Structure 1
Amino acid sequence: MKKLLSLGLLALAISACRPEPFKEIGAPYSVITGINGNWDLEMVEVEDRSFPQWETLEFTDFFLDNPVSINFNSNDNTYAISANSLDGLPFSSLNGTYAFDDPEYPENLYLISTDGDTSTVGMGNMVRAIDPNMIFEELKNKCDAEYARYIYTFKRSN
């Protein structure tokens, strides 16, 4: 009888320790609409990968005379870049449309110019509407080996 009572109490204790089901935290965010708005180039770095010990250098000063801003409009998937020159930037055109390689988990952003040229930049982070920074990455390859990674950090300006 004691064994039966002990087993009953043990079964009751185990059933009482079940976790409660998960509740919704809130509406999921969208990285597709999170990119919407104005972004100013804040910092540019290059990571030299040609040596065993990678070295990162900042060359933001190069853009002091050429301030760069980019506006993304998620309603019609268009972009417009404000810059005196595109030298040193991973973009081939000042305006056009954009698309993500995967809308749910984007790794690359495709910038399609009005004349049909496409630039591809890697997404350094998934951008939500609340995020203040957006990072683009561009890898440089030669002979099937990466020798540099350019990191462009943009700050939300709206």
Structure 2
Amino acid sequence: MWPAIGFFDERDQSAVPGYVVDTAERARERLLAADVPRVLGHADFEAQNLRWHDGRVWAVHDWDSLAWQPEAALVGATSAVFPKIGPAVLPPVESSEAFLSAYQDLRGRRFSAEELEIAWAASLWPAAHDVRWEALHGDPPVSCDALRAQAAERLRRANA
């Protein structure tokens, strides 16, 4: 279910909370069922990977995070990580909703109902990965409370 990462996969996966695995499985199933065109895009568009100059993006870092995904999946994941400059914390649902709306306004095209579902499913993936990371490394659980609190609503919006 998770991307293959050797040192991760060798660890005791039972340390990952069940709700995280369930959330990731449901989000992944929705993403895999997507029947929309894919685009090449940056899949780790966090604040810490952007540099600004005079109010404009000046540089984007972490280009090893390119992905061939539906546009809505890339935007949905970004709606969950855009404020990230330190430890991962899933922003409130309302912040992701505002991000998705602003993106569509600037893009000049509204997402279809299916694309919105894909975006909401993708918004869960980075948080689930971050909670898994914390659990497998024995790190303090910074991300788990927000994911636990928001998973049901984000899954509902994803129709997952």
TM-score (normalised: structure 1)? 0.26
Structure 2 length as normaliser, TM-score?
A: 0.26
Structure whose alpha-carbon radius of gyration is higher: 1
Name whichever structure is richer in strand by fraction.
1
Greater share of residues in helix: 2
